[in-house]
Structure 1
Amino acid sequence: MAEQIEILNSDAHRDLAMHPLAGAHPHMVQIVVTEVTRAAACCPVVLAKSPETGRFALVALFGFQPGEVLVEGAETGNAAFRPLDLQRQGFFAADDNIAIDVAHPRFAPGGTVPLFDAMGGPSDEMRLVQRAIGHLMGTAPQTEQFIAMLVEERLIEPVDISLSFDDGQTIALNGLYSVSGEALSALENATIIRLFRQGWLQAALAIHGSLLQVGILARRRNDRLAGGWN
């Protein structure tokens, strides 16, 4: 369905309601650097290259393949971590305004979450969307700087993960990258201090450590196959 972009207006869209989630939760979601530590607490955080630009992006993995979500509560919007990019689905920044794509599945008939209250002001849920957009816009340059630092300090390494499951299926996670623990340990003290004060050392360590979440999600997938987890 083609996009139908409109500037959000409390009069024109007073009766418009949205769904908490726009369809199925994706298995892979792009995040910003300020989300890394929270994301790493419940799912693997990796770097992936854009096929169009070849540039790295930060990504949270909620599953191992399209259509699969293994993080507890994610499919109902109740996961411990909900990416900002999902919170603002269907909404966009347009100069100093917020625009919406009225053709987006989030605004399909049956939505139960109002955008505006009885006085025409933003609802509590709409305020969350506004904050999500503002945070995404405000931290985009910081995220680019963080990734540039990882590249400059040669902290990025490819990760090739092959997983075997009880149903006989093997899933290979290719084309993904993480932060090298060895390269982190080799940083000079002055660099470590600088990165720590910028908050980037914590994010880099979180990315490296989040690979442990791969095994946790794999066990959940096996539990689901055995009927012990939904």
Structure 2
Amino acid sequence: MANHTILDPAHHRELRVATQHGAGWGDAIMSAVVVPDEFRRVQNDYPILFRLDLATDRFDALALFGFETGENLYLAGDRWDAGALPLSMEIRPFLIGRTPEGQGQVHLDADSARIDPAGVRVFDDAGAPTPYLEAAIEKLRALDSGHARAPAFFAALRRHELLEPLTLDVTLQSGAQHRLIGYHVIDEDRLRSLDAAVLGELHGEGHLMPIFMALASLTNMSGLIARKNRLVGG
């Protein structure tokens, strides 16, 4: 679990953050949370899948990076080989916090591998946010707004029974097999069966576009398998 602390210039005046990519900076992960607001931005690079947390009975959306724990097939040494990064990856090592009054607040994961004395400064000599931090704060705001709107999107998917379980068996050119289970995808047949009134309702609520973006993202699964084949084949 992240070691949260409130970010402030009094305690973090000298804080620097690594902005490069690589396993050593915490990028070796199989997936990252995405919110419906960013589906259009990330759907060209990653498959978007849905996962149900049985403990909370809540769905989250994930951008899939690999087929095994700790595997990120978009990492090429110190380069992230994709056109867009999910917001949850871009904001690290910062997190969304709350004041006692419920106002948004920037927190820092004090244990993050991205805290690096050779990295980019977060505050300038006067204690003001650097352009790097200002950009990170804007991304935090976007992610916070996306999280706030996400429950209505998932409620609409459940209300119209638009999610179906996914079991994907992947056989690589080497003969190795991987099975992807525990995820859901948009049920395209169910979506096609919805009448005009329901489609109009989904469109009016702003849910239809992210639904289509999630469907379109599944074309990236073949590309992800190709990345895995290249990795296994050397």
Q: Which amino acid aligns with 1:76?
A: R
Taking the TM superposition and a 5 Å limit, the aligned residue runs for 1:1-230 are 4-20=3-19, 22-71=25-74, 76-77=79-80, 79-92=82-95, 93-95=97-99, 96=103, 97-107=105-115, 109-227=116-234
Per the normalisation by structure 2, the TM-score is 0.87
The alignment partner of 2:231 has SS state of helix
Distance 2:80 2:229 in 1: 22
Distance 1:33 1:6 in 2: 28
Q: Where does structure 1 lack aligned partners over 5 or more consecutive residues?
A: none
The alignment partner of 2:114 has SS state of helix
Q: Which amino acid aligns with 1:94?
A: R
Name whichever of 89-98 and 13-22 sits farther off: 89-98
Distance 1:210 1:32 in 2: 14
- The number of residue pairs the alignment matches comes to 225
Using a 3 Å threshold, how does the CA distance of structure 1 residues 225 and 77 change in structure 2: closer, same or farther? closer
Query: Is this contact kept in 2: 1:25–1:74, CA < 8 A?
Result: no
- Alpha-carbon RMSD: 2.2
Displacement, 1:223? Answer: 2.1
Q: Where does structure 2 lack aligned partners over 5 or more consecutive residues?
A: none
Q: Which amino acid aligns with 1:225?
A: V
Name whichever of 59-68 and 75-84 sits farther off: 75-84
Distance 2:172 2:150 in 1: 35
Displacement, 1:78? Answer: 6.0
Q: Which amino acid aligns with 2:98?
A: A
Q: Which amino acid aligns with 1:184?
A: L
Displacement, 1:132? Answer: 2.0
Q: Which amino acid aligns with 2:222?
A: G
Q: Which amino acid aligns with 1:180?
A: D
Using a 3 Å threshold, how does the CA distance of structure 1 residues 152 and 111 change in structure 2: closer, same or farther? farther
Displacement, 1:214? Answer: 0.9
Displacement, 1:194? Answer: 2.4
Per the normalisation by structure 1, the TM-score is 0.88
Distance 1:45 1:34 in 2: 13
The alignment partner of 1:163 has SS state of strand
Distance 2:30 2:77 in 1: 10
Displacement, 1:168? Answer: 2.0
Query: Is this contact kept in 2: 1:27–1:62, CA < 8 A?
Result: yes
Q: Which amino acid aligns with 1:132?
A: K
Query: Is this contact kept in 1: 2:74–2:80, CA < 8 A?
Result: no
The alignment partner of 2:12 has SS state of coil
The alignment partner of 1:70 has SS state of coil
> Identity rate of aligned residues, in percent?
24
Name whichever of 93-102 and 80-89 sits farther off: 93-102
Distance 2:117 2:80 in 1: 17
